[in-house]
A and B are shown apart, each in its own frame.
Chain A
Amino acid sequence: MTVIYSLRNVVKERLIDGVGFRLLVPKIEIRAQENIAVVGHSGCGKSTLLDMLALILRPDQCAEWSVHPVDGDNHDIAKLWQRDQQSKLSQIRKQHIGYVLQSGGLLPYLTVRENIDLPRKLLNLPEDDSINSISKVLGIERQLDKLPGLLSAGERQRASFARALSHRPTILIADEPTAALDPITAQKIMAVVMEVIKGLKITLITASHDWAHVYKMELRTLRQEAEAVEDGKVYQSRFSD
């Protein structure tokens, strides 16, 4: 399988409440249609890593970072960040990446249908039945004309998945998508999502702090190690294959 993400020596540093935090990625390779779980406790940098993989967070150091969303389409992300080519990054993001946030992240002033349709509109994709079909699969076909504020938490997450998948991205990034749901609903949603991404041949990268959940979904996990460095002034978290 093609390597979609290839990262080497990527570093992101942050100052959180006066304490230094360093995210270190010595090496990660993610192949097409792999299902990856970024597992770790709260504050270990899972979301930071996902944001970098979603190309919305600039790394501080980066020896190598390439993205090959489809065959023959190779992007040197390290160089794009270096040159601050935000336009190109946003182009790759809108075309190849779908992102599901922990609480949905639906725009409150658009209906569910309009929310799902937004990535397609941005890509000028032709109108077809894909919104109805993805909504049907995710069980929200009767909620399409409602505003997100009128949906339950589970329905909002389903709608968020539908939006992330509507433009048929190559990569789906989900940041603890079921953390706010009860276990039964969470399990139901993830089961459907796994079916969908399998059918659409999408690579899933999800963050979770629930090991049981990850084992059940048979996801490949990235190793996470944490240590205090520089005399305890910096909390360093390493993610690797």
Chain B
Amino acid sequence: MAQITNIIRLSFRDYSHEWRMSGCFILALSSVLAPMMILFGLKFGIVTTMIHQLVENPANREIRPIGSGRYDDAWIDQYRNRGDVEFIIPKTRALAATIQLKSTSANRIVSTELLATAAGDPLLTGLTSVPKDYSQVVLSQSAAKKLKVSTGDEIDASLARQFQGRRERVHLPLEVIDIADEVVTSRNVAFVNLELLIASEQFKDGRAVPKLGWEGNSDKLEERFYPSFRLYARSIYDVENLVNDLEKAGARIKANVGEIKTVQSIDENLSVIFWIIACVGALGFSFSLGASLWANVDRKRKELSVLRLIGFKSGRIVMFPVLQSCYTAVLGWLLAVLVYLAFEYLINFFLAPQLNLDRALCFLLAEHFLWALGMTIVIAIFAAILGGMRAARIEPSDGLREI
């Protein structure tokens, strides 16, 4: 133990004594590492921004059925329980999912599309509440503007049908509990509880809805099938897999796979470019550091021989260049981080606004810095083993005569 603590102390003293030489090693390392960090920061920043833009818009994660299908509750539940599905909710027939809305503040009737919603709906992210029963609604911006209503207002919803040769209309008071963000949709949409959507379809099909007091045929459906659904993958990376599974299950669907693939392809290509540069840089640095340490051991053979003469074991002498290499790795990394941070600031301050990006163009996470440190130390140790082996082979009697 005394030998280990002493060799750490001695290697550091020698390292700091030869500060010019050590400084050159540190500069050499940081001049390889800093550009790699900037490159990776740019790659990470650009790709993350693109991915973020894709993720921010739920439409990119939406998988839309084409045409009409037959999906029962069990089918919906099966997908709801999948880890790669963030949200799924059934849709009824488009014609049955239309409702007329009227408010006291606007003298017009707005024909609005009914969409079922529930907690966790990506379209309504950020809203404090979702419609929980027949009496609540979240309106799209467009519908709210046309109706001139805001949160807390009450509106009148009405449905019409032809039943047994006569035209019937039912009315239902709805409370506007929130208004969806403008980016969600430009259409007139009323987000309602699934029960209300189903009730609307039942009414239009001529059936009774006892809970709402709407009369009609009282025959009960054996099994309910939905013609469509709204499905959102958990991430853009889950879309392709879900599309494949749904297609295998016979569903005809559409998704933004192309755009997602483009971003993934950019990510992969940039990663390949980055890793090629990183590998060439790391290889060059390893050889450069290895050769320097080899030469350094040769230069220090006299002093290393003295250490052997005093009583240090050859195994401990190996640690001498390895430790010095670690000092270079840590200090070189530190300098590279400082250089990187300076460039990150400059890039984000001057370049990002020109590209109209609201996010940073170049940035790294804390774990990236730690990864860089770990990799640098591993490479440095690997390179130093060469010098260390040479140090261990020094015959003290040969080195001593040179003193």
Contact = CB atoms under 8 A, between A and B. Distances in A.
Interface of A: 47-48, 51, 54, 56-57, 86-87, 90-91, 93-95, 99, 101-105, 107-110, 114, 118-119, 121-124
A241 to B, nearest CB: 23
Contacts of B395: 56-57
Contacts of A91: 311
B378 interface: no
Contacts, number: 72
A94 B397 contact: no
Interface string B391-403: 0000111001101
Dominant SS among interface residues on chain B: helix
B3 A122 contact: yes
Nearest to A163: B310
A95 to B, nearest CB: 8
Q: Across chains A and B, which 10 residue pairs bring their CB atoms closest together, nearest first? A: A94-B311, A109-B17, A51-B397, A57-B397, A56-B396, A109-B14, A105-B403, A109-B13, A105-B306, A103-B403
B17 to A, nearest CB: 3
A236 B57 CA distance: 90
Contacts of B183: none
A119 B309 CA distance: 10
A118 B397 contact: no
B311 A109 contact: no
A119 B14 CA distance: 17
Given A56-B309, A90-B308, A94-B310, A107 B403 contact: no
Nearest to A56: B396
A90 B303 contact: no
28 contacts: A47-B397, A47-B401, A48-B397, A51-B397, A54-B309, A56-B309, A56-B396, A56-B400, A57-B396, A86-B313, A90-B311, A90-B312, A94-B311, A101-B403, A102-B403, A104-B403, A107-B14, A108-B17, A108-B303, A109-B18, A110-B13, A114-B13, A118-B6, A121-B2, A122-B2, A122-B3, A122-B312, A123-B311
Contacts of B312: 90, 122
Query: Which residue of A104, A110, A123 has the most chain B CB atoms within 10 A of its CB atom?
Result: A110
